[in-house]
Amino acid sequence: MFRNQYDTDVTTWSPAGRLFQVEYAMEAVKQGSAAVGLRSKTHAVLGAVNKAASDLASHQRKLFRADQHVGVAIAGLTADGRVLSRFLRNECINHSFVYESPLPVSRLVVQLADKAQVCTQRSWKRPFGVGLLVAGLDETGAHLYYNCPSGNYFEYQAFAIGSRSQAAKTFLERRFQEYDTYSREDLIKDALFAIKETLQGEKLTAQLCTVAIVGEGEAFHIIDQQTIQEYIDAMELSTGGPDEEAAAAAPPSAETQEGGEGASSEPAPMDI
């Protein structure tokens, strides 16, 4: 899209009824490295590609836990993403404090969307430049939402955002009909395959991606690198790709709770 005279302020409409600044913010999301999400009735999986600015740098954190039952994957301006994750965490804690129960995911995304909307209607603010895939579990089952910089949010069975996400979306579109009944292991495998699609040729290793899962009886946590590598190896072993269940080396990961957010083997990325 090209510059025009209606795109300076977020509070300026174009004659065609568009807010260009908001649309430019959505462009920022498309520039970020990919993130994918998918869900079944009982589990939701988030995956992200770990792109480092250079070989010297560590990669940026893209998966954040908001509460035991909710987590987010971000794409776009990671600084904005961190700030929003902090907001999500606060909202979850405040709700639990007052109501002694977990904040339903649908309410959380509405609060997030309202916060994003504010920035599209103030002349002294700018829209957040980050898209969030919110995955969570509540009384009504597992959910996956996508929150835009525009303040819109949508529920999805599976989705991908960021650069080269179209390849992942195409893959997910072919398979999402069965996701409701997928087992947790199959969900993880499909997430990894979707991430692989965005890499377009580059070999998928556990170093290159981060995967997190939340589900019934399982708090939101990032799956450790070793388990991910085992899933990847199992996928490569089976000739037909993810369609065949290579039961060989795909053990369910130990349900680690609390602070072990992928901090085991990696040099710690910039934690919030």
Partner 1 sequence: MALRGDWMYENNGGTCVAIAGIDYCVVAADTRLSVGYNILTRDHSKICSLADKVVLASSGFQGDIRALHKNLAARHLLYQHQHNKQMSCPAMGQLLSNTLYYKRFFPYYAFNVLGGLDNEGKGCVFTYDAVGSYERVGYSAQGSGSSLIMPVLDNQLKSPSPLLLPARDAVTPLSETEAVDLVKDVFASATERDIYTGDKLEIVVINASGIKREYLELRKD
Taking the least distance from each CB to partner 1, the nearer of 22 and 84 is: 84
Quote the tokens at residue 223. 């799956």
Q: Binding to partner 1 (CB under 8 A): which residues in 78-117?
A: 86, 89-90, 93, 96-97
Taking the least distance from each CB to partner 1, the nearer of 65 and 169 is: 65
Distance CA 129, CA 43 (A): 28
Least distance to partner 1 from the beta carbon of 219, Å?
12
85: left (phi over 0), alpha (psi -120 to 50) or beta: alpha
Taking the least distance from each CB to partner 1, the nearer of 72 and 195 is: 72
Whether residue 118 contacts residue 99, with contact meaning beta carbons closer than 8 Å, is answered with: no
Q: Binding of partner 1 at residue 266 (CB under 8 A)? A: no
Distance CA 35, CA 195 (A): 7
Question: Would you call 48 helix, strand, or coil by DSSP?
Answer: strand
Which of 39, 43, 62, 65 touches partner 1 by CB under 8 A? 65
Least distance to partner 1 from the beta carbon of 96, Å?
7
Q: Tell whether the torsion through CA atoms of 44, 187, 212 and 169 is positive or negative.
A: negative
Q: How many C-beta neighbours within 10 Å does residue 211 have?
A: 26
Taking the least distance from each CB to partner 1, the nearer of 43 and 65 is: 65
Q: Tell whether the torsion through CA atoms of 50, 51, 57 and 61 is positive or negative.
A: negative
Distance CA 146, CA 75 (A): 11
Site size for partner 1, by CB under 8 A? 14
Least distance to partner 1 from the beta carbon of 228, Å?
19
Per-residue mark of binding to partner 1, 244-263 (x: CB under 8 A) = --------------xx-x-x
Per-residue mark of binding to partner 1, 9-48 (x: CB under 8 A) = ----------------------------------------
Q: What is the four-CA torsion angle of 242, 243, 246, 252, rounded to 10 degrees? A: 60
Taking the least distance from each CB to partner 1, the nearer of 85 and 227 is: 85
Taking the least distance from each CB to partner 1, the nearer of 216 and 271 is: 271
Enumerate binding residues for partner 1 (CB under 8 A): 65, 86, 89-90, 93, 96-97, 258-259, 261, 263, 268, 271-272
